[in-house]
Every structure is written in structure tokens, then in C-alpha cells.
Amino acid sequence: MLPPWIISLNDTAEPAIVGSKAHNLSRLHASGFEVPPALFLPTFDRDRLGFDSSDAYLDAIGAFAAGLNEALGSPDGWAVRSSATVEDLEEQSLAGRFDTHFITSPDELVGAVRQVWDSARLANVGVESMAVVVQKTIEADFGGVAFSQDPLDGTPSTVIEMCRGRGERLVDGEVTPWRVRMDSPERQVPAGFPPDALARIDEGVQRLAKIHGYATDVEWALKNGKLYWLQVRPVTTRVMPKFEVPESQRHELQGLWVRIRHCFAPQKPLVVSMNLPGLFDYPEWESRLVNEFHYVQMRPKPRFPLAEGDYERNMDRWDDVEAEYEKIFDDCLRADLRALDLDQLWSELQRRAELKRGFFPQYYDAEFHQLRSREYETVATFVEEAMGTNSSTDMVISELLGGLDTKTDQKQRQLVNLARLMAEHPDGDICASEEWQTFMDDFGYEAASTHLFYVPMLKENPELVLEMVRQNASQPGPAREGGANWEALRDEIEARLPAPRAAEFSRHLLRLRRCMKRTEDDDYLLQKSTAQVREALLELGRRLVDIGALDSRDDIFYLDADELERAVTQRGFDARAQADAIAERKRVFRAAKVLSPPALIVNGRPKNPRTRAEHGVLKGTPASPGIASGIAVVIDDPFSRNIDTLPANSVVIVPIVTPAFAYMLIGCAAIVTEIGGMASHGAIVAREMGIPAVVGIKGLREQLKSGMKVTVDGTRGEVVLPAPMQR
């Protein structure tokens, strides 16, 4: 008897639950193809599975393993394969990104599952998106792959590659295959290969292409003349779409247009039509959506004639704004929206959206940025006077900005304390602890993006935090303290300056430190402004599902403001027609999601600036001192909720770091970003953590891949590439 949470090959297998690979195997089986018997261990979901944590889920898998022979007898063992919800899709296949392990004993099942999960984490995919296929191993006489069209030139002819034994040897590059094109008269196959097998493989892969509606890549095995189908996915070399500016927009996008830094993913219609972030009519820029990504052209930037007292006035004004909005947003986040009827909820959403839009211009304060730049330049002048013009001024200032005790630093300490608590009480329920509740009260409103309202908050998916805490529980240790030497360095500089100049230096340094702390901490308030709107949207989405206006809560993001009002009032709202419109908008969104938006659009053409490597070294801005080496983990979309905790001592390569992303960085060796300077969140986070960081290396992700070993010199602002790339 199988546990109720295990899904068999004969069951209905939804991709969101069993992953795309398992779903495709079920389709193969249902279409009459011979598929080796298999069981599916679904993606982790606390409510659906009934397990409090992925560790409890793994324990249940271990208990099931004792009956594996009875449930899925296999004299040759089992293949334990990844089945992520993000692989084997038409938009992307991610072939080879995740692990497959062959086991011969049920005792090895838990270890193999853990290794598959670990390969997912290395690729920034969480266990909530990774199912596992446990399949009877076929000790094949011949194995290989087949493509319904040539993967090199796209011509419509079946291409078959094969080797003796398991096809995995071919896929892993261990052997040179026999290669056959079915439109070629020359068809060399190994001795003993059944004469009719080529035709059977050809017929099968072409039939699968028709069933799936796209060019397919299959893995197959032959044993005693019987043909087995092991996997089916889109052709992995299918050319991914490039970001192209639509012809209709090119004339509008003359001059320089810049992608908003926090918009590495496309927007959704409701956010745009309601201008929820306040981005779309901000007076400092003209705004356009290009393939659903947000680009702006800056208007002439105002220059403020700054007087001596303006620093205190501006900072004190912000303290008042922060106190006012902190209370407003906290009250919103504590409110019970379930007590409101539908019309009241619609009004509450509008009120919260207006609060968010009103807060944004005060958060994005141009005068403050000018004041911060002035303080930085002033401190730099004192540093050069004291240390000499040949000193690394940026690096000295970086050290002087350590130990700010930002909210990010406080969050890191709480997370380390949670890891220590878990290590001390391994059998306890950390989610029931006071420390866990405090953390969620303090930071549960955070999301990976402040502008992408469809991205979940931490409290909606606490498993991400819990997984990170678990990984650090085995060796929690003390929190790494960054910036411990800033006071000693300040004293050294003061000692080199005349007394009046030393006092002036100290005063401006304290001002700059206050600016930098505000730079980091004010983003948390921006997060709250987003969270209080998202909560109203989610509750409204739930209500609309209840009355039959929407099929899914998150479909609310695919409405525009007028459609949402009609759905709430039920005046002139056609649910069926709206469902068709939502389906089309989802298709547009999926197409945009696979694009890589360029940093710039210049005269209607996409452009990505790139830093050239000199002698195997990429140069950027030094942001946090020290040298560290590690395995690179390249993150293309820092706002994706597929990102899980990162492998220990990894070098994080990311476009930008936000405070919400920082909680996943505990244990990493170094941070390198494409965007930002000394005042960026990535720089501040690294200094608080006491790890090296280099920022502002344009085109970084095009030059590095996950798995490469790199060295980061945060003192010199350099990233040393792997040796083969230096030639």
C-alpha cells in the first residue's frame, strides 16, 4: 500500500505537483508508449503533504524506502531523477541542470533524493519546486537520445544518437555516439542493433512531437529488442527568444532608456493600470513598458542649492516621514481584512494603493541623494588629505562604513540565533518558538521585489527561511561581525589631520554613516508599503474566487483596474470572457518571462554594456574589503521565489542585492553585482556581513556560469576568472 502522498505513473500527474518530467512520463504512458514503472515524490507543500518541514518529508521518504522493493520491484535498481516544475518546459528545458542518481538498494533512496534537492538548490530552485521520479532501472543493451528535428540546424528530420548500454553514458559525454539522420541514406549502427529499431524510434519521436506541439528530445532504451521511453522534453538547443523592441515602439524610444533596477521580471496588468508602485507617473522620468519590462528616460535632474543646515533638515524630515508611515503600514498589516465586505475591501485596496503611491516620492528623495553624494565627496577629500592621493579612497571609505547596525544586520543576527536554537533543540518545532514569531513579525512582510506585487512575501512561504536556518544549524557559530575596525581607522585618520580638520572629518563621517544607514533601512519601509497593498489584493482575489468571478486568487494580477471594479460590483462582468482574456495575458507574461531584458535601450535598440576582462580579471568598484574564493552561483532573477538558500561558501553573482534577498546570503563567501556603487544595498550588506564584495561589473552574468571557481578581491575591486577563461 503506497502512502497517500506518493503518485504513481498511472495517476493523474499535475506539473505543479510532480514536476514537468514526471508529468511528461505520465503523458507518455497514457499515450501507449512503453515507460518503465515509476513512482513520483511530489514537490514539497506543507498543507498538501501534511509535513511541517522538508526534513519531516525526507523522514517520511526514508520510512517508505523500506517498502520500495514491494512497491516498485526492480532487480537492476532504480533511477532517482529530478522533476522540477521549471525544467522540460517548452520555454526552457534546463537539461542536465539537475541530478540523476542510480541506486541498487532501498537504503540509498533518501541520500539520492537529498542529492537531487541539493542540485536544485545549487541552481536556485527550492524543494517546493522540485519533485523526484523513482523509476525502475533498465539495464539496456543500447540506449540513446532522439530528436524530432536536427538540434543544430532545425531541419525536420529525426536525429538518433546511441551507444551500448545505458544512454546516460552518452548524455554525460562519456562516449562518442553512433549518430543517424533518418533523411540520410548512410545509417551506421552498432553490431547487434535490431534492424527495425530505427524506424520504431523515428515513428515514436515524431508522434510525440505532434502530441506535445513542439520539437521533442527523448531518451530511450532497448533491452532484448523491447523499446522503452525514459524521458521526453523540448529540444534543448532550441533557440531562446531574444529581447527585441517591438517595431511599433522604436520611434517612441529614441535617446537613452534605462531599465528600472528592481524590474528584472515583467510587470502584470493590474500593477501597471493602478500604478501600484508609483513608478509609472513619477515626475523625474518618462516611463514605458517594453515587452512588459519597465524602462525610463530621465528628465533633467533637479539640482538643489544646498546650505549647511539642509543635511539636518532633510534627515530629520525623513525621520518624521518614517515614523508616520511606519505606523500607518504596520496598522494596515495588522488589520483583519476578512471583517470587510467586498465593497469595503475594494475601497480599502484603493486607499492602500494611494498610500503607496504617496509614499514613493518621499522614499525616492532626489535632495537626499544629492546630500549623500556631497557627504561622500567631503569624506573622500579628508581621506586623501590624511592617507595620500595614492591610497584607495573608495576602499578606505568602505571600511569606514562598516558596523552600521542596519536592519539587515539585525536580521542576520536573528537568523543566526534561529540556527543556533535549532542546533540546540533538534527535535523541537522552531516555528512554534518565540524567536521565530519575532522574526516573522519583524521581517515576514518582505518579498524578493518591492515593485513586483505578484511575488510572495516571506510569511506566505516561510519554508525558504526555514530551509536556510536548517542549513546553518549544523554549524551556527557566532554571527560574522562586519566593520569591526571602522573606529580604529577613523582614529588613525583623525591623528593624521590637524585638530580642526580632524573634528570636521569626524562630523562628516558620522553624517555619511547616517546616510548609509538610511539608504539600507528605508528599503524595509518600502517593502511594507508594498506588502500592505499585496495583502489587500490577495484577500480580494480570494473573495472573487468565492463568487465565481476568478478561477484562481492570483488571476487578480491579470485584470486591469476597470475590470477589477466590474468584477467587484458584478456590473457588466463576464467571467467566461474574462477568463479567456486572462489566459491570453498569461501567455504574454510567460513569453516575456523567458526574455533577458537589457540594461539599456538606445535609439530603439537593446544594449547591454559589458566590462572587458583584462588578463583574466574583471574590474568593478571595491565595496567590502577582503579576498575570498568559492564556487560561483549565478542568479539571473533575484526576485524569483524559486531561489532557495545558497550553498555554503559560494560566490553570489547577481544583478542587484536588495535587503529582502540578503537573508539568503548567510554563509556565502562573497558578493558580486552588476549594478550599484558604494552606497548600494549589496555593498552595505557585504560590509555588515564582513565578506568581500565587488559591485558595478556590467555584463557580469554573460561571462560567468554557475559552478566556476572564482576569486573575489573586495579590496581592489577585482574578480579573478577561472584559468581556462584567462587564456
Whether 465 and 458 have beta carbons less than 8 Å apart is answered as: yes
Task: Assess whether pLDDT exceeds 50 at residue 726.
Answer: no
Mean pLDDT for 371-389 is: 91
Render pLDDT for 582-608 as a digit per residue (tens, 0 to 9): 999 988 888 888 787 888 899 999 987
DSSP 457: B
Tell me the per-residue pLDDT of 231-257, one tens digit each, with 9 for 90 and over: 887 765 444 567 899 999 999 999 999
pLDDT of residue 647: 65
| pLDDT above 70: residue 437 | yes
* 82-to-12, 57, 122, 585, 646 alpha-carbon distances in Å: 18, 16, 13, 30, 18
What mean pLDDT do residues 535-564 have? 94
pLDDT at 725 over 60: no
Per the CB < 8 A criterion, the answer to whether 94 and 87 are in contact is yes
Which tops the pLDDT comparison, 123 or 493? 493
Average pLDDT (666-685) is: 76
The pLDDT tens digits of the residues spanning 653-667 come to: 887 776 656 656 666
Beta bridge partners of residue 287, listed in sequence order: 296
The whole-number average pLDDT for the span 495-512 is: 95
Assess whether pLDDT exceeds 50 at residue 91.
no
Looking at residue 478, what DSSP letter applies?
S
Say how far apart CA 690 and CA 670 lie, in whole Å: 9
Could you give the CA distance from residue 293 to residue 593 in angstroms, rounded to a whole number? 9
Q: Which of 72-76, 135-139, 476-480, 526-530 has the lowest mean pLDDT?
A: 476-480
pLDDT value for 710: 86
CA distance linking residue 205 with residue 210, whole number of Å: 9
Residues contacting 528, CB < 8 A, separation 6+: 325, 326, 329, 330, 333, 445
Q: Give mean pLDDT, residues 272-278.
A: 93
Contact 109, 103 (CB under 8 A): yes
- Lowest average pLDDT, out of 144-158, 196-210, 421-435, goes to 144-158
The pLDDT of residue 393: 83
The overall average pLDDT reported for the chain is 84
Average pLDDT (203-212) is 86
Would strands 100-103 and 130-136 be described as parallel, antiparallel, or unpaired?
A: unpaired
**Range of weakest confidence among 112-121, 354-363, 416-425, 515-524:** 112-121
In which band, very low, low, confident or very high, does the pLDDT at 95 lie, cut at 50, 70 and 90?
Answer: very low
Q: How far apart are CA 357 and CA 362, in angstroms?
A: 10
Whether residue 154 has pLDDT greater than 90? no
Confidence check: pLDDT of 382 > 90: yes
Note the pLDDT of residue 466: 78
Query: What is the pLDDT confidence band of residue 643, given thresholds at 50, 70 and 90?
Result: very low
Residue 97 has pLDDT above 60, yes or no: no
In this predicted structure, the answer to whether residue 707 has a pLDDT above a threshold of 80 is: no
DSSP secondary-structure letter at 645?
P
The model's pTM is: 0.64
State how far the alpha carbon of 345 is from the alpha carbons of 246, 282, 624, in Å: 38, 27, 46
* pLDDT, position 612: 72
Residues 6+ apart with CB under 8 A from 101: 79, 80, 108, 112, 115, 116
For the chain, percent of residues with pLDDT exceeding 70: 87
H or E element, residue 312: helix 310-334
> Ramachandran region of residue 425, left (φ > 0), alpha (ψ -120 to 50) or beta?
beta
**Does the structure show a pLDDT above 80 at 650?**
yes
Among the ranges given (250-254, 439-443, 454-458, 505-509), the one the predictor scored with the smallest mean pLDDT: 454-458
**What's the pLDDT score for residue 607?**
85
Q: How do 670-673 and 650-654 pair as beta strands?
A: parallel
SS3 breakdown of the chain: % helix, strand, coil, rounded to 5? Answer: 45, 15, 40
**319 vs 180 pLDDT, higher one:** 319
**Better pLDDT: 685 or 624:** 624
Contacts by residues 570-576 (CB-CB < 8 Å, ≥ 24 positions apart): 573/549, 575/548, 575/549, 575/550
pLDDT at res. 233:
79
Instruction: Select the highest-mean-pLDDT range: 143-152, 346-355, 401-410, 692-701.
Output: 346-355
Residue with the bigger pLDDT between 472 and 61: it is: 61
Place of cell 529499431: 197
How much of the chain exceeds pLDDT 90, in percent?
A: 40
pLDDT at 214: 77
Q: Which residues contact 614 (CB under 8 A, 6 or more apart)?
A: none
- 8 Å CB contact between 481 and 367: no
- Give the pLDDT confidence of 558-577 residue by residue, as tens digits: 999 999 999 999 888 899 89
**Pairing assessment for the beta strands 38-41 and 7-8 based on DSSP bridges:** antiparallel
393-400 and 499-546 are packed helices; what angle lies between their axes, rounded to 10 degrees? 70
Question: What pLDDT is stored for residue 89 in this prediction?
Answer: 46
Categorize the per-residue pLDDT at 427 as very low, low, confident or very high, splitting at 50, 70 and 90.
Answer: confident
State the pLDDT confidence band at 170, using cuts at 50, 70 and 90.
Answer: low
CB 528 within 8 A of CB 445: yes
Rounded-to-integer distance, Cα 41 and Cα 29, Å: 18
CA atoms within 13 A on the CB side of 29: 18
In this structure, are residues 467 and 647 in contact, taking their beta carbons and an 8 Å threshold? no
Identify the CA nearest to 86 among candidates 15, 28, 147, 29.
15
pLDDT at site 471: 64
Rounded Cα gap, residues 98 and 119, in angstroms:
5
Does the pLDDT of residue 641 top 90, yes or no?
no
**185: number of Cβ within 10 Å:** 5
What CA–CA distance (Å, rounded) separates 119 from 83? 12
Cα separation of 19 and 330, whole Å? 38
Least confident segment among 37-46, 95-104, 341-350, 515-524: 95-104
Asked if pLDDT for residue 727 goes beyond 70, the answer is no
Quick one: pLDDT at residue 263? 66
Q: What is the mean pLDDT of residues 318-327?
A: 96
pLDDT at 391 over 80: no
- What is the pLDDT, as a whole number, of residue 445? 94
For residue 175, name the pLDDT band (cuts at 50, 70, 90): low
Alpha-helix residue ranges (DSSP H) falling in 388-452: 393-400, 407-424, 434-443
| The pLDDT of residue 507 | 96
